[in-house]
Amino acid sequence: MLYFVSTPVGNLKDITLRALEVLKSVDLIACEDTRTSLKLLNHYEIKKPLISYHKFNEKVAGEKLLEELKSGKDVALITDAGTPVISDPGNVLCKMLIENGVEYTVVPGATAFVPALLLSGMDASKFCFIGFLPEKKKDVEQVLEKYKNLDCTLIFYCAPHDVKKTVEVLHLYLGDRNAVAVKEITKLHERAIRFNLSDGYVEENPRGEFVILVEGATERENPNLSLSIKDHIKLYVDRGFSNMDAVKQVAKERKLPKSEVYKHSIE
């Protein structure tokens, strides 16, 4: 049996009794980063053989785990924090296990976006978890285009060095909305910082992993539509869009043919 085991996102006490029981009983533990996992395992005096399993070796390491499972061993998979697969390695292994007819189960526990949603105070009746945004601008646009009109809370993960850039990108594609940045979840300096996307994220030296929550779309009119088409194009060019990307964005917002908007860009 393979167990996907959830681990604490911060406070080491946030681990379930069943998770500890499983980690003590298995023959082998696969870790995203063995150094990080050892802090947790040593804290609870768990001594087991460890194997590295992360996003850069999922296929190769997955094959090794399959061999161990087929030989009759029980294996636990943990990540640095939270639940495996949820914006963490593990999805490739799930598919490999299913394809090979190997049983697996989940030991549920901490996942960062759930407490972040509660701390934010935003609408929790319906929400959309998106996770980390892609690195490439084109891919970011494609992702946010899919979700920008949803009338539910949008949830993103973000590393501290990317917070300011991520907030700027969200403002660019989603417009001005209420947002909350939740950091250091379950730790001593846990905070929920409320702001508007148009204001940007103002903390000088962000630290810790972040969950950014943004309010869903409303029926309010896009303020950019009050601009002339020429000024609307200039708005996006000033924000770093190429002329053609600005034309495409304005055409989408105004529901006009790109050829019509392009005329104004020439002017």
pLDDT of residue 77: 98
Q: Do domains 2-107 and 113-214 have the same CATH topology?
A: no
Pick the CATH number of 2-107 from 3.40.1010.10, 3.30.365.10, 3.40.640.10, 1.10.1380.10: 3.40.1010.10
Give the contacts of 229 (CB within 8 A, at least 6 positions apart).
250, 254, 256, 261, 264
Strand partners, 193: 181
Q: Residues in the chain with pLDDT < 70? A: 219-221
Residue type, 109: G
Give residue-wise pLDDT tens across range 187-217.
999 999 999 998 888 787 888 889 999 999 8
pLDDT of residue 239: 86
Instruction: Give the pair of three-digit tokens for residue 170.
Output: 């969200």
- Domain coordinates in residue numbering, the chain: 2-107, 113-214, 223-266
147 with 130: CB under 8 angstroms? yes
pLDDT of residue 60: 96
179 with 120: CB under 8 angstroms? no
pLDDT of residue 66: 97
173 with 149: CB under 8 angstroms? no
Cα(97)–Cα(84) distance, rounded to whole angstroms? 15
Cα(92)–Cα(95) distance, rounded to whole angstroms? 5
Q: Residue 15 in 3-state DSSP?
A: coil
**Bridging pattern class, strands 153-158 and 210-214:** antiparallel
Q: Residue 11 in 3-state DSSP?
A: coil
pLDDT of residue 219: 59
pLDDT of residue 221: 57
Fold of 113-214: 3.30.950
pLDDT of residue 220: 58
